[in-house]
Structure 1
């Protein structure tokens, strides 16, 4: 049995659930040979529907335990924090249909992944930057919300937590919609039906 050489954080778990062996010869979109690229199944694959982490926080009220939820492919999505004590779920996370619907969180995150896939080397940097910015934002939001949570009880606590969840969910969707816009704009350069005019003629 393997043991970690340090205490693992929720972000380590996020990285594990998003793994496709980045930085190794076994990465399907990396620089290994074809045999190496397909030797092992990545944790995060294109058929992943969602990934989640349940974070128990003994130092906080039980309502402040967190479910981190990543819709779609972990490697191309982001883990959004949802406090456990909410009494409602954002509409974008409810009743998701099997066909594309841009008003649903799953399809927003999935669309970004589908747009990145054909040109991962060229467009992956935009995705990584968005993921990193959201990870920082969510971490800051939790620190700020936790301070208020410690001062509330009952209905006030539930209402506050429900709003924080809705705000975090919307922040993720908004940033990914900006990413999608950037990916579509940049993808137009990769069309095989293209012509570059010589402006000197």
Structure 2
């Protein structure tokens, strides 16, 4: 499937020494081909994990091991096209994001064709995350499946634990490379092959199939000196310049403006491994992944702008289904170290909510989305707000920004409060975290309903056909 058809994304990865508190941070938007593909947050228990897995959108099938771990996932609420679990953390505090849909070039596809029997984004979280105990193991398991089954699409797949983040990119039906994100660095990935120079003498930071160099040489794929994975396997199309590279441009302007001050949105030369000029926070990630190129000439919400004429695809697009930040915290007990921050629907108008993942259930407002709009559900109420606010951005944005500031502050205070409660009483930790997650979800839903009320009131006075005596 092409990046215009189904799930496209923007990913941000932050090494532990580049983040505000020493956490590894894996963040991603999931963007659909439609603005109405509801998502839900769930816990998958070992007794419901499939043993014989069959994909719905491809011919991929696999027998899975008998010892799965419990894990969180954020699958489609309507699974007629498969699970699409996307992002989660297992009971060993290993996180996975699958996937960042990427592109490759025709010569690579010709040399190693994609395969209909292979795995893809629909399948990856389900068949990998329950069976790994470290980020490196995530790469190894995915590589083994690719070797046997191949893939029908090219993807960026991310694994993290408390110490490491690994970014793995597939190319063609069976080839791939993975790079460890340096602890002091960050990465932004925008539906485009990103990994650059590979050091084949550094197994601590690079992984790849044994035949990678031979495959490239035999098929005359390397047109440059060195071994630059992006140049060999990636694409450099007009679509990239309007759909992909502007997202990297905005993110790097935000995180390290001085180093990219002379680059434009269509540049092919942005670095894969980047270094921010400050420690990166949850709020930084939320801001960038919500971006519509504000304060630039490319903002579709700017006054008197026809959004159809804006040349670049925003990061915070209307058809975002969800956003997750997978945070594995250092210097915390294993029981409370992992947090999955979740935002539903379009990011310019929503908020991030922290859920501790060492639980057996998720609050119903985030768990029970269906294909029917329901303002008591987190996905749907945020979708409704986004639809109303997008047409009345200038009139509603002050209420939305006040909501975001209040709820993000609340999220941080909740983490501190729950950490303290756990330190004071380590008994029944799962029950404690489930209770606290429920309190968090209830507060956020109350605030979101209040925001919806304000947005409806504002937008309702601005619709075509509204009339007052001031009109005559």
Report the TM-score, using the length of structure 1 for normalisation: 0.89
Gaps of 5+ in 2: 1-270
Query: Does residue 107 in structure 1 map to residue 383 in structure 2?
Result: no
Write out the 4+ residue segments of structure 1 that deviate beyond 4 Å after TM superposition: 31-37
Query: Does residue 88 in structure 1 map to residue 361 in structure 2?
Result: yes
Match of 1:70 among 334, 343, 350: 343
Match of 1:131 among 388, 404, 422: 404
Cα deviation for residue 68 of structure 1 reads: 0.3
What is the CA–CA distance in structure 2 between the aligned matches of 1:127 and 1:8, rounded to whole Å? 23
For the Cα contact (< 8 Å) 2:353–2:411, is it kept in 1? yes
RMSD: 2.1
Gaps of 5+ in 1: none
Match of 1:166 among 408, 414, 438: 438
For the Cα contact (< 8 Å) 2:301–2:307, is it kept in 1? no
Structure 1 residues 86-106: Cα deviation after superposition (integer angstroms, max 9, x where no partner): 221111122311221122110
**1:195 matched to which residue of 2?**
467
Query: Does residue 7 in structure 1 map to residue 279 in structure 2?
Result: yes
What is the CA–CA distance in structure 2 between the aligned matches of 1:106 and 1:55, rounded to whole Å? 21
Structure 1 residues 132-186: Cα deviation after superposition (integer angstroms, max 9, x where no partner): 11111111121111111223335x2111111111111111111110111111222
Query: Does residue 150 in structure 1 map to residue 397 in structure 2?
Result: no
More helix by share: 1
Counterparts in 2 of 1:110 and 1:194: CA distance versus 1, 3 Å: closer
For the Cα contact (< 8 Å) 1:30–1:37, is it kept in 2? no
Counterparts in 2 of 1:36 and 1:26: CA distance versus 1, 3 Å: farther
What is the CA–CA distance in structure 2 between the aligned matches of 1:44 and 1:57, rounded to whole Å? 26
What is the CA–CA distance in structure 2 between the aligned matches of 1:49 and 1:62, rounded to whole Å? 30
**1:140 matched to which residue of 2?**
413
Query: Does residue 175 in structure 1 map to residue 447 in structure 2?
Result: yes
SS in 2 for 1:12: helix
Cα deviation for residue 36 of structure 1 reads: 10
Cα deviation for residue 34 of structure 1 reads: 5.9
Cα deviation for residue 192 of structure 1 reads: 3.0
